[in-house]
């Protein structure tokens, strides 16, 4: 679940659950136990259905249910957070283990058996076999976090993570995680329909029911750190992470640009990241970050308590003494030499190799698109939107400049204004919020665009519950109907315009259609939902020869599947319609007809 699917009902339900656990812990425990029992009963039904199938159809049951399920569950369950990480051997990095062991001994925590490095701006500690004599404790440190924190901040972070180990949090959360895993895995296949109605309600309820436990785990880990290492360490960790997060996000954007260049293979990611995260923001930006974090209310899906609450647990009166710090955690824990940086670079490049290739391919696609469609404020809004997105991918400044040019010509255009508000948010959040609200009022279809989450974040950042409620209730009310319209079939009365054709795509379409004798004509039309925004659906309407009896339903569906596979990147929806429908609603649209079998055979497409 993510912000895109949060409703106001979810938000209030989650907050009620937090208060319910706080005021009535016993009743809460009984309620959670009942949800677990429900799940176990449903599991029995599913397993019984699987065994029933195996009993009456042994071969089909074993091949289609048992083998795929066992294989899928084995893969998912054995997958751990240490996957895609860099293992630090104790022999090669004795100084790191010595430092961690010293902190563990000081706070009377359990021994860490293995340490890993990953690419997250975070750290975590997990245990395996935690309730047995064979217990193993693993610590995973994000390389970006090591680059950003001070030694004191990292000590607080480690003490927090060791608190999770001491309180057996990974064992408790593991039970709930595996319960959800059973229902989320695709291995259940058709058997999921046995409990589908119950599951739809149970899954959402269960996720919100266990959140108070996960949040309490974070509070307990902070308290553990305060009790054993003092409040200054956890306060330093919380404040330093808050002030360096924007720098890390900015570095990730810069890294995406670097991935598109030919120098990516030799890019010194380890040193460049360290250099970027050592820098402190300007005084103005620091003040903006801290004030925002103090006002911020925690997202209902965030396991951590609010920034202000964490500082209160640490006994921190003012965060300002922690905002400027020497980011020396990496130097304090590691011997920094060429061998170390080479190891980090090799890890990162292997980890990001596939993603970098995708980024390069996407950049080439965008560059080709821009070469064929030179950005101009005179373009149709859908083309303007595509051009802005394409430019932003490999030249953000050029994207902002083009957006400004378009706004000069269309100063009241809601979609362009919303894109501008997204760029404006960091510097002028109040102004951005006003633009967002005004644009959504003008064109509700803008709720379907992802950048409305910026407005959601504004209300969270400012602690404006009334604004948050208004936004979520309005979105909850409008979005289902908008999606229903967007996903609806092409019908009479839809607002249709000709598709701005890509000649290469049209040629390939004609070539594919000519191979199937029953298709006699084809139209390309675009359904628009609001004249002021770029949201649209492109349809390729196929007309079959009604005198042909060879084109049975199976062949029709197979043909559609093939077209969808070939043109998966073209964003076209392929459908069949009668010639009478096309004559009435499509023939009058200039350029909609792009394929006529008779004309194509004569070479007159």
Looking at residue 78, its pLDDT comes to 66
Q: Which long-range contacts link 68-76 to residues 24+ away (Cβ below 8 Å)?
A: 68/187, 68/189, 69/187, 69/188, 69/189, 71/187, 72/185, 72/186, 72/187, 73/181, 73/182, 73/185, 73/187, 76/181, 76/185
Smallest CA-to-CA distance from 415 within 393, 399, 433, 438 is with 438
The span from the CA of 296 to the CA of 309, in Å, is: 10
Q: What is the DSSP string of 59-105?
A: HHHIIIIIHHHHHHHHHHHH--TTTT-EEE-TTT-HHHHHHHHHHHH
pLDDT of residue 521 exceeding 50: yes
Looking at residue 31, its pLDDT comes to 95
User: Which residues share a beta bridge with 542?
Assistant: 522, 576
Looking at residue 51, its pLDDT comes to 78
- Mean pLDDT for the stretch of residues 97-117: 92
User: Predicted confidence band at 545 (pLDDT cuts at 50, 70, 90)?
Assistant: confident
CB 3 within 8 A of CB 472: no
The span from the CA of 518 to the CA of 383, in Å, is: 34
User: Predicted confidence band at 552 (pLDDT cuts at 50, 70, 90)?
Assistant: low
Mean pLDDT is lowest, of 90-94, 485-489, 549-553, for: 549-553
The span from the CA of 324 to the CA of 243, in Å, is: 9
User: Predicted confidence band at 127 (pLDDT cuts at 50, 70, 90)?
Assistant: confident
- Mean pLDDT for the stretch of residues 562-567: 86
pLDDT of residue 63 exceeding 80: no
Helix/strand/coil (H/E/C) assignment for every residue in 510-553 = HHHHHCCCCEEEEEEEEEECCCCCCCEEEEEEEEECCCCCCCCH
The span from the CA of 312 to the CA of 222, in Å, is: 10
- Mean pLDDT for the stretch of residues 531-543: 89
pLDDT of residue 501 exceeding 90: no
CB 297 within 8 A of CB 232: no
Looking at residue 59, its pLDDT comes to 73
Looking at residue 603, its pLDDT comes to 65
Summarised one tens digit per residue, pLDDT across range 468-491 is 999 999 999 999 999 999 889 999
- Mean pLDDT for the stretch of residues 271-282: 94
Smallest CA-to-CA distance from 323 within 153, 143, 154 is with 153
Q: What is the DSSP string of 282-349?
A: PHHHHHHHHHHHHHPPPPTT-SS--HHHHHHHHT-S-GGGGSS----HHHHHS--SHHHHHHHHHHHH
CB 569 within 8 A of CB 362: no
Share of the chain above pLDDT 90, in %: 58
Looking at residue 190, its pLDDT comes to 59
Summarised one tens digit per residue, pLDDT across range 319-350 is 999 998 999 999 999 989 999 999 999 999 99
> Could you give the angle at the alpha carbon of 194 between the alpha carbons of 187 and 186, nearest 5°?
15
Q: How many helices and strands (H and E) does the chain possess?
A: 25, 9
User: Predicted confidence band at 452 (pLDDT cuts at 50, 70, 90)?
Assistant: confident
Neighbours of 14 (CB within 10 A): 20
Please, is 225 exposed, middle or buried when counting C-beta atoms within 10 Å of its C-beta (0-12, 13-18, 19+)? buried
Looking at residue 557, its pLDDT comes to 79
Provide the b/e sequence for 69-78 (b: ≥16 CB within 10 Å). beeebeeeee
Summarised one tens digit per residue, pLDDT across range 354-408 is 999 999 999 988 988 898 889 999 998 888 999 999 999 888 999 999 999 999 9
Query: Rg for the chain (alpha carbons), in Å?
Result: 29
Looking at residue 549, its pLDDT comes to 47
Mean pLDDT is lowest, of 79-93, 431-445, 575-589, for: 79-93
Looking at residue 560, its pLDDT comes to 84
SS3 156: helix
The span from the CA of 434 to the CA of 425, in Å, is: 11
Looking at residue 2, its pLDDT comes to 56
- Mean pLDDT for the stretch of residues 28-53: 87
The span from the CA of 531 to the CA of 533, in Å, is: 6
User: Predicted confidence band at 60 (pLDDT cuts at 50, 70, 90)?
Assistant: low
The span from the CA of 427 to the CA of 425, in Å, is: 6
pLDDT of residue 146 exceeding 50: yes
CB 177 within 8 A of CB 211: no
- Mean pLDDT for the stretch of residues 194-217: 89
Of 523 and 2, the structure prediction assigns the larger pLDDT to 523
Of 66 and 437, the structure prediction assigns the larger pLDDT to 437
pLDDT of residue 312 exceeding 70: yes
């Amino acid at each position: 679940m993510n912000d895109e699917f949060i409703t106001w009902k979810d938000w209030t339900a989650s907050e009620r659950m937090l208060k319910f656990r706080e005021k009535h812990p016993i009743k809460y425990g009984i309620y959670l136990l009942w949800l677990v029992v429900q799940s176990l009963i449903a599991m029995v039904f599913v397993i019984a259905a699987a065994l029933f199938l195996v009993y009456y159809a042994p071969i089909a049951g074993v091949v289609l249910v048992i083998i795929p399920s066992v294989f899928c569950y084995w893969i998912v369950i054995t997958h751990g957070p240490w996957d895609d990480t860099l293992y630090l051997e104790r022999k090669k990095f004795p100084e790191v283990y010595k430092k961690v062991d010293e902190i563990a001994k000081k706070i009377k925590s359990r021994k860490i058996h293995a340490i890993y490095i990953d690419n997250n701006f975070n750290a975590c500690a997990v245990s395996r076999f935690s309730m047995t004599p064979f217990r193993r404790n693993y610590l995973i440190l994000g390389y970006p976090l090591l680059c950003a924190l001070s030694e004191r901040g990292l000590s607080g972070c480690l003490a927090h993570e060791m608190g999770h180990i001491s309180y057996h949090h990974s064992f408790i959360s593991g039970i709930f995680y595996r319960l959800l895993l059973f229902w989320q895995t695709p291995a259940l296949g058709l058997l999921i329909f046995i409990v589908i109605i119950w599951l739809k309600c149970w899954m959402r309820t269960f996720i919100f029911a266990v959140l108070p436990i996960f949040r309490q785990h974070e509070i307990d880990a902070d308290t553990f750190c305060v009790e054993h290492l003092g409040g200054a360490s956890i306060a330093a960790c919380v404040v330093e992470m808050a002030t360096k997060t924007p720098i890390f996000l900015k570095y990730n954007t810069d890294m995406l640009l670097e991935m598109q260049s030919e120098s990516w293979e030799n890019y010194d990611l380890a040193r460049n990241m360290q250099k970027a995260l050592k820098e402190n923001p300007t005084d103005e930006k620091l003040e903006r970050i801290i004030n925002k974090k103090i006002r911020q209310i925690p997202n209902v899906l965030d396991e951590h308590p609010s920034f202000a609450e964490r500082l209160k647990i640490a006994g921190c009166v003012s965060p300002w003494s922690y905002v400027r710090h020497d980011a020396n955690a990496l130097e304090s824990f590691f011997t920094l030499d060429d061998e170390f940086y080479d190891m980090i670079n090799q890890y990162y490049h292997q980890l990001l190799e596939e993603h970098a290739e995708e980024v390069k391919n996407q950049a080439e696609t965008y560059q080709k698109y821009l070469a064929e469609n030179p950005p101009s404020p005179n373009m149709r809004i859908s083309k303007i939107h595509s051009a802005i997105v394409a430019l932003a991918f490999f030249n953000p400044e050029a994207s902002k400049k083009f957006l400004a040019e378009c706004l000069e010509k269309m100063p009241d255009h809601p979609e362009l204004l919303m894109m501008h508000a997204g760029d404006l948010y960091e510097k002028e959040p109040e102004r951005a919020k006003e633009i967002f609200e005004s644009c959504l009022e003008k064109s509700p279809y803008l709720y379907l665009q992802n950048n409305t989450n910026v407005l959601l974040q504004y209300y969270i950042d400012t602690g404006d519950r009334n604004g948050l409620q208004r936004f979520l209730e309005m979105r909850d009310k409008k979005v289902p109907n908008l999606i229903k319209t967007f996903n609806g079939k092409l019908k009479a009365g839809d607002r249709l315009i000709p598709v701005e054709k890509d000649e290469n795509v049209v040629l390939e379409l004609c070539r594919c259609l000519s191979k199937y004798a029953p298709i006699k004509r084809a139209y390309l039309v675009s359904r628009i939902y609001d004249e002021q925004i770029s949201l649209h659906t492109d349809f390729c309407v196929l007309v079959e020869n009604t005198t042909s009896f060879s084109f049975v339903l199976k062949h029709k569906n197979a043909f559609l599947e093939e077209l969808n596979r070939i043109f998966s990147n073209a964003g076209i929806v392929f459908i069949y319609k009668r010639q009478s429908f096309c004559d009435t609603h499509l023939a009058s649209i200039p350029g909609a007809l792009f394929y006529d079998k008779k004309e194509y055979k004569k070479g007159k497409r």
